Structure 1
Amino acid sequence: MLRTDGTTVLSLTRSSDEPPLTLPRDPAREAARRELSRRMYHENDPSLFQRALNAFWDWVGDLLDTASHAAPGGTFGLVVIVLAVVAVLGALWWRLGTPRRQPTSAPALFDDRPRSAAEHRAAAEAHAAQGHWSQALQERMRAIVRALEERALLDVRPGRTADEAAAEAGHALPGHTDRLRAAARDFDDVTYGGRSATEQAYHRIADLDRDLERAKPHLATATTHSTTRQGAAG
């Protein structure tokens, strides 16, 4: 009990005829602090980790509460915004695929023993028959480049990339430049970008392969390639 003169009265049951014990305020506060600091009063206190976790969730709750008041429509509006953001992120992941570290330079188009264009086409068709469109697309692009080398429209050069092959082939077959570049991009996306090819993408590159077989090269470019090869042979 607190008196008006600033002293604290502690009523301790001693006997009915004795007056209560009176202590000044500061000593009484110190005595209470010492009493409450005893271990027996803190056995069930939460751990430091639990207190930190509770503080974190309190902060999250305050943040969401503030956001719900700021968002149009309150809590319902906040939920709609969060779902919209999740939907956008999901669409981006589906469209772009899992991010992967890009190589500092594009690896070579051919990475195994030399094979003919016919062998690459056969491998592509075998993969396509099983629905393995990524492997089918890769083999069909290799078939295109190998066929151009067999026709002497490209020099046989180990280490050539798909982009380089498309650029060089575009000089000999200028009418197919855009399709060659698109095929090289598809090849790089599948081989080094971690994306999966579709059936439509495979059929586009297969159609390009068939069209290139019938295409007539630009005369000046073909002559230049032939002269270069003859000079190298001499």
Structure 2
Amino acid sequence: MLSAGGATAAETLIRASDDVPVDIPRVPAREAAERELSEPRYHENDPNLLERALDSFWDWVGDLFEGAGSGGFGGTAGLVVIVLVVIALAAALWWRLGTPQRISSTADSLFEAGPRSAGEHRSAAEDHAGDGRWNQAVQERMRAIVRSLEERALLTPRPGRTADEAAAEAGRALPVHADELRAAARAFDDITYGGRTADRRSYERLRDLDLELERAKPQLTDAVQGGAQ
């Protein structure tokens, strides 16, 4: 007859031979499950950090609205908090992105609308200046300058030309005014695409440049002078 210890060993062998699962301690089992679930294939469709943050934010907003529906003081305070949060987010976006700018059909194109004469651009610029709309006044005056140079055949009309390109090309024909043309193009770009704000002085500089260019005589290249002889 086997002893109690021997019976226990035999029973253990019988259970193992019959493939009956042997109890696994809880701690190792939990660790094994955590290692298994930590593998990437189980988390391919998990929301990212931003999505989780937004979900938490909207849950919080929902809780505030539920509190507001109850009519209690806490609900009213919650609505006030929501309004303040929205205002803060709007202010942060405005500060980060600047004043919204209208995007032209061609990126950085100087002319947005159909063909207009230099005189028409000047008239529009003066109208804007008279109403204190200095951004639009500067833009129209720069367009008047470039269109005037095209009308005088100092620039070849070309769709999609940028202010910088026009200034560089015009500067070769009018080298005395090359620096002023580049500065005018830079002011146009800063206002149109950089969110800067123009003022009366900015506009008057472009207006004076426009008048000077009207009286300026181009410097012909040797090739042009030779062809004219």
> Structure 2 length as normaliser, TM-score?
0.52
CA distance in 2, matches of 1:98, 1:151: 38
- After superposition, what is the alpha-carbon deviation per residue over 1:83-129, rounded to whole angstroms, capped at 9, x for unaligned? xxxxxxxxxx8xx993889x9x9521001110000000000000000
CA distance in 1, matches of 2:160, 2:222: 22
The answer to whether 1:156 aligns with 2:157 is yes
CA distance in 2, matches of 1:201, 1:221: 36
The answer to whether 1:185 aligns with 2:210 is no
- The 3 A distance-change label for structure 1 pair 151 and 203 is same
> 2:136 — aligned with what?
135
- The 3 A distance-change label for structure 1 pair 100 and 221 is farther
Aligned residues: 131
> 2:219 — aligned with what?
218
CA distance in 1, matches of 2:222, 2:197: 35
CA distance in 2, matches of 1:144, 1:219: 19
> 1:98 — aligned with what?
98
CA distance in 2, matches of 1:99, 1:201: 19
> 2:33 — aligned with what?
none
- After superposition, what is the alpha-carbon deviation per residue over 1:157-195, rounded to whole angstroms, capped at 9, x for unaligned? 000000000000000000000000000000000101111
- The 3 A distance-change label for structure 1 pair 221 and 212 is farther
- The 3 A distance-change label for structure 1 pair 222 and 171 is farther
Give matches, 1:60-139, under 5 Å: 98=98, 106-139=107-140
CA distance in 2, matches of 1:123, 1:135: 9
Structure 2 spans left out of the alignment, 5+ residues = 1-94
- Contact 1:97–1:195 under 8 Å retained in 2: no
Deviation of 1:221 (Å): 7.2
State the secondary structure of the residue aligned to 2:221.
helix
Matched to 2:98, the amino acid is T
- Contact 1:153–1:222 under 8 Å retained in 2: no
CA distance in 1, matches of 2:139, 2:109: 12
Q: Indicate the structure with greater helix content.
A: 2
CA distance in 2, matches of 1:122, 1:130: 13
> 1:86 — aligned with what?
none
> Structure 1 length as normaliser, TM-score?
0.51
- Contact 1:153–1:172 under 8 Å retained in 2: yes
State the secondary structure of the residue aligned to 1:211.
helix
Give matches, 1:199-218, under 5 Å: 199-218=200-219
State the secondary structure of the residue aligned to 2:207.
helix
State the secondary structure of the residue aligned to 1:184.
helix
Fraction of identical pairs, as percent: 64
RMSD: 2.8
CA distance in 2, matches of 1:117, 1:213: 11
- The 3 A distance-change label for structure 1 pair 111 and 100 is closer
